[in-house]
Amino acid sequence: MSSRIAKLFASAAVALVTANAAQAETLVVVTGGSENMVDYVTDYLGPLFEEQNPGWTVKSLGTGPGDAGSQAVLEKLTAQKDQPTWDTDVIVTNQLKTAEMVTEGLLQKYRDQIETGALVTSDAAKMALGTDVDGYVMPMFMSQTAIAYNPDLVQDVPTSLEGIKTWSEANPGAFGYNGIKNGMSGVAFATAWIYAFGGSDPKTLMEGPYDAGAEAGWAEALADLKTFNQSVTFTPGNAGTLDMLNRGEIAMGPVWVDMFYSWQADGRLNPNLKITLPEPGMPGQPYYYAIPAKTAHAEAARKFIALATSPEVQAEGIVKKFNWYPGIDAQHLEASMDEASWDKLFTDVTPADLSEKAKPFPLGPFFTDLMDQYETEVSN
Instruction: Give the pLDDT band of residue 346 (cuts 50, 70, 90).
Output: confident
Q: Which CATH superfamily is domain 145-284+360-379 in?
A: Periplasmic binding protein-like II (3.40.190.10)
The whole-number average pLDDT for the span 39-62 is: 95
Instruction: List, in sequence order, the alpha helices (H) in 152-230.
Output: 161-170, 184-197, 202-207, 218-229
Indicate the domain borders of the chain.
Answer: 25-143+285-355, 145-284+360-379
The whole-number average pLDDT for the span 294-304 is: 97
CB-CB contact of 250 with 271 (8 Å): no
Give per-residue pLDDT as tens, 347-363: 888 878 887 898 888 98
pLDDT averaged over every residue in the chain: 90
The whole-number average pLDDT for the span 15-35 is: 71
- pLDDT at 23 exceeding the cut of 60: no
- Tell me, what's the pLDDT at 248? 96
pTM exceeds cut of 0.85: no
Instruction: Give the pLDDT band of residue 336 (cuts 50, 70, 90).
Output: confident
More confident call, 331 vs 205: 205
Question: What is the Cα–Cα distance from 253 to 138, expressed in whole angstroms?
Answer: 30
CA nearest neighbour of 218 among 185, 234, 196: 196
Question: What is the Cα–Cα distance from 369 to 377, expressed in whole angstroms?
Answer: 12
Q: Do domains 25-143+285-355 and 145-284+360-379 have the same CATH topology?
A: yes
CA nearest neighbour of 318 among 24, 44, 28, 122: 44
- pLDDT at 48 exceeding the cut of 80: yes
The total of other beta-carbon atoms located within 10 Å of residue 260's CB is 24
Mean pLDDT is highest, among 161-165, 283-287, 350-354, for 161-165
Question: What is the Cα–Cα distance from 261 to 324, expressed in whole angstroms?
Answer: 9
Orientation angle between helical segments 161-170 and 218-229, nearest 10 degrees: 30
- Tell me, what's the pLDDT at 99? 93
- pLDDT at 21 exceeding the cut of 70: no
Q: Which CATH architecture group holds 25-143+285-355?
A: 3-Layer(aba) Sandwich (3.40)
Write the DSSP assignment of 108-128 as a string of letters.
Answer: ---GGGSGGGGG---GGGTEE
Give per-residue pLDDT as tens, 214-249: 999 999 999 999 999 999 999 999 899 999 999 999
